[in-house]
Structure 1
Amino acid sequence: MSTQLHPNKASEQILQSDYVSRDLSWFQFNYRVLDQSTNEQRSVFERLKFLAITASNFDEFAMIRIGSLYNYLDYGKERVDYSGLREKPFKTALFNEAQNFFAAQTEQFKKLMPEFITHDFEILGIDQLTDAEKERTAQYFKKTVYPMLTPMLVDIYHTFPVVMNKALTFGVVTQNLADTKHPKRLSFVQIPQNLPRFFEIQRADTLVFVPIEEIVRWRIFKLYKNIEILSVNLFRVTRNGDISIEESDDIEADFVDEVRRKLSTRRTGRVVRVEVEDNYSSYMMKILKQRWEIDYDNIFVTNSLMDFTGLWQIVNHPEFKEKTPVSHASVLPLSAAGNKHFDEELFDILKQRDILMHHPYNSMEPVVSLIEQAADDPKVLSIKMTIYRLAKNSRITNALLKAVENGKHVAVLFEVKARFDEENNIREAKKLQKAGCFVIYGVSSYKTHTKMMLIVRKEDERITRYVHLSSGNYNESTAKLYTDIGLLTTNEVYANDVSEFFNAITGHSVPDEYKYLITAPRDMRNQLIELIRQEAENARNGLPSGIVIKVNSLEDKATIDELYKASQAGVTIKLIVRGICCLRPHRKGLSDNITVRSIVGDLLEHTRIYYFHNGGNPKVYGGSADMMNRSFDRRLESLFLIVDEKLKQEAINILAYNVKDNVNSHLMHEDGTYHKRALHGHEKPFNIHQEFYDVTEDVVMNAKLF
């Protein structure tokens, strides 16, 4: 799928900049996700899954990034994008890309539709149903849907109706000639969001999905008796969801209540996008534009199914479970080879050696099991951990509750501002606090994104501290879909660093210099810059040099500038950036020695690894932080140095496999666009989302990046 930047008046200025716009780079990422839905080797259910992912991605982008732009536009604040454009011309460039991406999504859905029937399902309108099926559908409307519908009139006597964020809504224009003053009126009929997206009908060997909006449209006259309906138009609004929590240095007791209040604004915030079906009523749109202060940039017109996130009902349908690929069975970490009862013996194993886990190839189960064992183990004195996102019905929460019941000291730094998980996190944090856990809701104005855990255990007369450091969340559900690394260790240097870190965030301590940790907002940017500068110095002195970095996003200008300087000094730099990348590779005289690739496939790449060649004695870090302003300045983050030589080789091999991948890789051009990596000649496919299940110790120990 082409991901060319579409021309507009600002294109030339954008391309002249040494930095790629963060938001325009995001669209390139979502094109790479959409590209997965074009892969004919995937089942139609997988392809619909990726289409649904692009839709939920786009919803979040509209709420947060477009919402953020309107925070500047609406209040007259100045904003200069990385591309050098001011807020108004950038809005034009951004919406141009948004409109083109919206059209690409619709085009791809239409291409997939003919394949539905060959996979025993269809999405049909009312006119395509039999008389018996129409009767069943009419009964469903009468008994279930109709009682939930409420027409909301727009006039001077009523408050303008609140149209809910991301809800499918009908704008109905009616006419009553008996009303000589206002014969034409607009009203809204919102489809309840707690109803299934599709009504399901079994037809022989085919499962028919009827969109809920088509059922409501078919019977909407039931809501408007003795009045003429002039037009019925489906639309869907997206509202500004870029909430910001204003926090003082000392977080007050009502902080969680403030988060709850802010959350409510997502439902009623400023409208930033309106999706609407084509041939819409100009009368309706005139009212919407005036009321919501939007223009044609904000209006996204479709002649297809609206809101592809609804496709999850089909993708996850039990009827099609056997038609979706079976996940690989996880394998033991290389450093745990030979331990058949790895989960049960983890306390003993960690006293002998460190373990590096690579999820989901290595199951998250041992980490969850370790917390559950610690909760029951009478030798365990305390558990401290940071939590960013939890699974629903989290085993982690249950284990911590049990630990408190068993008299252990439990301290949890709980990030209640994790975007779109705020309500779940608040609920879980309150549950822990009520049980007696020491819960910290945040530190000053920083968001807690670091992932670490400390278990203190008394063994005979000795205290042993068990440490877990990770790039991923303590979430047993997403750990099956996200790639992450985690270090398990009893090494006292890690334990001291982590203990110091917890003391700093739960008390009033100012830690000494960490030995194996790099933390933000304290000094992460500066330390990474020093590591980059050392590689540049080595290159200038004729010593071996090289940098390989794998992150989700690369946006921080200061570190980008240092990477440019290192490239000019002769350092070979290989960047693996899944999503946003504001660095411009391959620019003559600026970034000749920098390559950027993005890997998008079956699993969501979430691992962060930083490799510095260091004259042949590599320094390798893993951790939670991307190279972003927010990571360095507004978050509690950590990177951990991997010191064990075997584990270091495992991390190096992860990077080497990423560079070698020729199935999921997209290579970045100077202009900010990407192309899919193609196989050359007799080259064999190398898909890391399969190859990592078969890694051997010989491969790992021989892995090299330079």
Structure 2
Amino acid sequence: MLRELKTGKYVNRDLSWVEFNRRVLQEAQDSDTPLLERLKFLGIVASNLDEFMAVRVAETREKIKAGFTQKDFTGYTPAGLYHRLVKRISRMVAEQYRTYRELTRLLAKKGIDFQKYDDLNATQQKAMDQYFHEIIFPVLTPMAVDQSRPFPLVHTKFIYLSVLLQKEGGNDEDSFFAIVQVPSNVPRVVPVPLRANSKRKSFILMEELIKHHIHTLFTGYEPLAVQDFRLTRNADLTINEEEAEDLLEEIEKELRRRRRGAPVRLEVQKGIHLDALAELQDELQIGDHVYEMDGPLDLSFLIAFADSLEGFSHLKYPPIQPVYPQEFASRESHIELLRKRDVLVFHPYESFEAVTDFVLEASEDPRVMAIKMTLYRVNGDSQLLPALAHAAESGKQVTVVVELRARFDEERNIAWARKLEKAGCHVVYGLVGLKTHAKIILVVRREQEGLRRYVHVGTGNYNASTARVYTDVGLFTSNPVIGEDASELFNEITGFSGPKDLKALHIAPSGMKDKFFELIRREAEHAMNGGKAHIIAKINSLSDQEIIDELYQASQAGVRIDLIVRGVCCLRPGVEGLSENIRVISIVDRFLEHSRLFYFNNGGNPEVYLASADWMTRNLKRRIELMCPVFDTGIKEMVVSILDLLLRDNVKARELLPNGNYVFVQSKEPPLRSQTEAMNITLWKPADLSTST
């Protein structure tokens, strides 16, 4: 029986997420981080919060609206959780904007500044006036609100201006209200011209230009107050897959409905006119769910701004040049090498081109008969998709499982699905009620001995863009057992084949969770019998109550457990009698830690796995996920080296305390920053690579 705690055995998932975003904010505040990188982290905080409000907070508000009062397993009712979330988010937003003001002061000292129109000299003002009239003015649409013109639809996460007006020569009592959308198809950050030889760079935000010229949109009226506002709507898709005749069309309809989702959050400029605020609250039916921002709305623009700024490379991280995996570098054919041995690739330190080249080679190889692949999120300029299309056009059997419900990538995935279908690929949208989140490529090739299967299994999406900024691991193999299981997996997804007793792969939702239980309980048995017992798990999130309870039981049995959890963690480590053998760290650094890796000591006969799944209920019960064992001894050692490196991080690692707070790891060892060390590939991938049998 688990020991009862006054504080509760679990940390709430959403409150844990807020703490994760606070760790991202700490990176923006870290003076050791290059200045423009700090600016990007600040933009990431804003982007993260947008998605959190549109999905998680929206869901909590819907439960409150429906009268739902039941407590979750962490002890919170929806109303109690929402109250706590609002307090913490409000504090974080205030800290976010204090950080913004500090960073802009530091940028100004380095020659990068954001200007107000009134601070520009006459020449600059003239240039900005011309820019406004030639570029911005033609695309603006003033929208008046009166008896004949109802309040227009306000789109989610777009910036608008609220405009209070009076007729020229009138008085304040006779005011009129209008809104103006700040165009999203015109650059928000406008360069201000400086002297020809100046090394400084000055910018002005487009909304500042519109505010200054607002009178040009309302002739015969005088503006009384012009302020920014931004609405966030519920972004969850509600799809009845059982009754949907065409899932693709149903998702397209739901995407259109998303534009009218229930309002969740209203962001307004600090000091907004009270009449304008009252009008917005009334028309948008947002109540008091209002956040005042002491600075520009939607700081996510800082990500692209920092990336695009030229001439200030000294204020950025030194560029990383991913190396081409040394196993493939000296060979013309991936397939010929994979006949002899397995290969592990670690992104972003090693190039994603290795994956692209694998598919390109398969698409051109006349002996390849079939290519099957899952796609969850893919970059817009991907070389993978043209390769698949070419393979289909050349007569190969190409099957692509496209996940249409990958949140916020639905429209892009729909477009790619249509293109692949036109090229002759078999496009499948997965199983009813389950998102396909597994990352796998299967190539079937005719060889002298018969058909042979080549497989790539990954922890991250087949996306070359994110592979440059996410840490992920991919395994290439021609192991026949893994290949046979891969075929069974695709048959289950695309046909009526039921779950089979697979020999190597473990699939959610049919058996992965039970496998984790088996592996955790086996470690507990080893511990109770006096044997070696150690679990290391690297995941993005840990929120499944049953998995947490199994880890608690293993800890009480004496199993040493090290968890590397980047984001949400609902487990409380270090609690006497419950979890004193569990340590949890979170690493937030230059690259997004995204790989899912698992190590079980098994009494000195270790087993190592990589997976697409986190330890979350949605991954283990509502998604098709994949976990693959590592059989090759040398590759096992590589994975263990990666995990060991992360556990020794004492620069960017934070440790989770029993009370739910995170503190930087304290160590007497010399400073070790795992991501910096990982760039030295020889640390975890020895030059004398063993050959698989």
TM-score where L is the length of structure 1: 0.93
- Separation in 2 of the partners of 1:58 and 1:697? 36
Residue 282 (structure 2) aligns with: 290
User: In terms of mean alpha carbon deviation, does 125-134 or 454-463 score higher?
Assistant: 454-463
In the alignment, structure 1 residue 196 sits paired with structure 2 residue 184:
no
Residue 314 (structure 1) aligns with: 305
1:15 positional shift: 7.4
SS at 1:316 equivalent: helix
Q: Deviations over 1:194-232 (max 9, x none)?
A: 111111113222111101111111111122222233222
SS at 1:611 equivalent: strand
- Separation in 2 of the partners of 1:139 and 1:698? 57
- Separation in 2 of the partners of 1:208 and 1:538? 64
In the alignment, structure 1 residue 379 sits paired with structure 2 residue 371:
no
The within-5 A match list for 1:267-346 is 267-296=259-288, 298-320=289-311, 322-323=313-314, 324-331=316-323, 333=325, 336=327, 340-342=329-331, 344-346=332-334
Q: Given that residues 360 and 480 in structure 1 are in contact (C-alpha distance below 8 angstroms), is that contact kept between their aligned partners in structure 2?
A: yes
> Aligned match of 1:96 in 71, 87, 90?
87
> Aligned match of 1:244 in 235, 238, 259?
238
Alpha-carbon spacing, 1:79–1:199, altered in 2? closer, same or farther (3 Å): farther
Q: Given that residues 325 and 354 in structure 2 are in contact (C-alpha distance below 8 angstroms), is that contact kept between their aligned partners in structure 1?
A: no
> Aligned match of 1:472 in 439, 460, 470?
460
1:284 positional shift: 1.9
The residue type paired with residue 122 of structure 2 is D
> Aligned match of 2:253 in 258, 261, 266?
261
Q: Given that residues 230 and 267 in structure 2 are in contact (C-alpha distance below 8 angstroms), is that contact kept between their aligned partners in structure 1?
A: yes
Residue 227 (structure 1) aligns with: 221
User: In terms of mean alpha carbon deviation, does 625-634 or 139-148 score higher?
Assistant: 139-148
> Aligned match of 1:550 in 529, 538, 548?
538
SS at 1:443 equivalent: coil
1:480 positional shift: 1.2
Alpha-carbon spacing, 1:115–1:318, altered in 2? closer, same or farther (3 Å): closer
Identity among equivalent pairs (%): 39
1:524 positional shift: 1.3
- Separation in 2 of the partners of 1:340 and 1:233? 56
Residue 672 (structure 2) aligns with: 686
Residue 633 (structure 1) aligns with: 621
1:379 positional shift: 0.9
SS at 2:491 equivalent: helix
The residue type paired with residue 689 of structure 1 is Q
- Separation in 1 of the partners of 2:43 and 2:143? 30
- Separation in 2 of the partners of 1:177 and 1:329? 61
Q: Given that residues 14 and 20 in structure 1 are in contact (C-alpha distance below 8 angstroms), is that contact kept between their aligned partners in structure 2?
A: no
> Where in structure 1 are there 5+ consecutive unaligned residues?
1-12
Alpha-carbon spacing, 1:459–1:160, altered in 2? closer, same or farther (3 Å): same
CA RMSD of superposed structures (Å)? 2.2
> Aligned match of 2:110 in 98, 105, 119?
119
The within-5 A match list for 1:496-535 is 496-535=484-523
Residue 7 (structure 1) aligns with: none
1:701 positional shift: 12
User: In terms of mean alpha carbon deviation, does 468-477 or 155-164 score higher?
Assistant: 155-164
In the alignment, structure 1 residue 578 sits paired with structure 2 residue 572:
no
1:189 positional shift: 1.2
The within-5 A match list for 1:160-179 is 160-176=151-167
1:586 positional shift: 1.4
Alpha-carbon spacing, 1:47–1:177, altered in 2? closer, same or farther (3 Å): closer
Q: Given that residues 22 and 82 in structure 1 are in contact (C-alpha distance below 8 angstroms), is that contact kept between their aligned partners in structure 2?
A: no
- Separation in 1 of the partners of 2:282 and 2:70? 25
SS at 2:191 equivalent: strand
1:664 positional shift: 1.5
1:288 positional shift: 2.1
Alpha-carbon spacing, 1:69–1:304, altered in 2? closer, same or farther (3 Å): same
> Aligned match of 1:359 in 347, 351, 362?
347
How many residue pairs align between the two structures? 681
Residue 32 (structure 2) aligns with: 41
Alpha-carbon spacing, 1:447–1:326, altered in 2? closer, same or farther (3 Å): same
1:485 positional shift: 0.9
- Separation in 1 of the partners of 2:311 and 2:59? 39
User: In terms of mean alpha carbon deviation, does 403-412 or 40-49 score higher?
Assistant: 40-49
Q: Given that residues 505 and 629 in structure 2 are in contact (C-alpha distance below 8 angstroms), is that contact kept between their aligned partners in structure 1?
A: yes
Q: Given that residues 81 and 90 in structure 1 are in contact (C-alpha distance below 8 angstroms), is that contact kept between their aligned partners in structure 2?
A: no
- Separation in 2 of the partners of 1:596 and 1:530? 22
Q: Given that residues 177 and 183 in structure 1 are in contact (C-alpha distance below 8 angstroms), is that contact kept between their aligned partners in structure 2?
A: no
The residue type paired with residue 35 of structure 1 is Q
Alpha-carbon spacing, 1:634–1:502, altered in 2? closer, same or farther (3 Å): same
- Separation in 2 of the partners of 1:701 and 1:194? 50
In the alignment, structure 1 residue 156 sits paired with structure 2 residue 147:
yes
1:540 positional shift: 1.6
- Separation in 2 of the partners of 1:592 and 1:583? 12
Q: Deviations over 1:462-504 (max 9, x none)?
A: 2221111110111111111111111111110000110111111
User: In terms of mean alpha carbon deviation, does 568-577 or 62-71 score higher?
Assistant: 62-71
Q: Given that residues 197 and 313 in structure 1 are in contact (C-alpha distance below 8 angstroms), is that contact kept between their aligned partners in structure 2?
A: no
Q: Given that residues 608 and 624 in structure 1 are in contact (C-alpha distance below 8 angstroms), is that contact kept between their aligned partners in structure 2?
A: yes
Residue 215 (structure 1) aligns with: 209
- Separation in 2 of the partners of 1:608 and 1:158? 53
> Where in structure 2 are there 5+ consecutive unaligned residues?
689-693
User: In terms of mean alpha carbon deviation, does 312-321 or 206-215 score higher?
Assistant: 312-321
Residue 490 (structure 1) aligns with: 478
- Separation in 2 of the partners of 1:577 and 1:697? 22
The residue type paired with residue 269 of structure 1 is G
Q: Deviations over 1:575-607 (max 9, x none)?
A: 000001111111222111111100110111111
The residue type paired with residue 240 of structure 2 is E
1:153 positional shift: 2.1
Residue 642 (structure 1) aligns with: 630
SS at 1:272 equivalent: strand
SS at 1:666 equivalent: strand
The residue type paired with residue 233 of structure 1 is Q
Residue 589 (structure 2) aligns with: 601
SS at 1:268 equivalent: coil
User: In terms of mean alpha carbon deviation, does 77-86 or 18-27 score higher?
Assistant: 77-86
SS at 2:257 equivalent: helix
Q: Given that residues 401 and 428 in structure 2 are in contact (C-alpha distance below 8 angstroms), is that contact kept between their aligned partners in structure 1?
A: yes
TM-score where L is the length of structure 2: 0.94
User: In terms of mean alpha carbon deviation, does 491-500 or 61-70 score higher?
Assistant: 61-70
1:294 positional shift: 2.7
Q: Deviations over 1:326-346 (max 9, x none)?
A: 333334557x2xx6424x221
1:318 positional shift: 4.7
Residue 8 (structure 1) aligns with: none
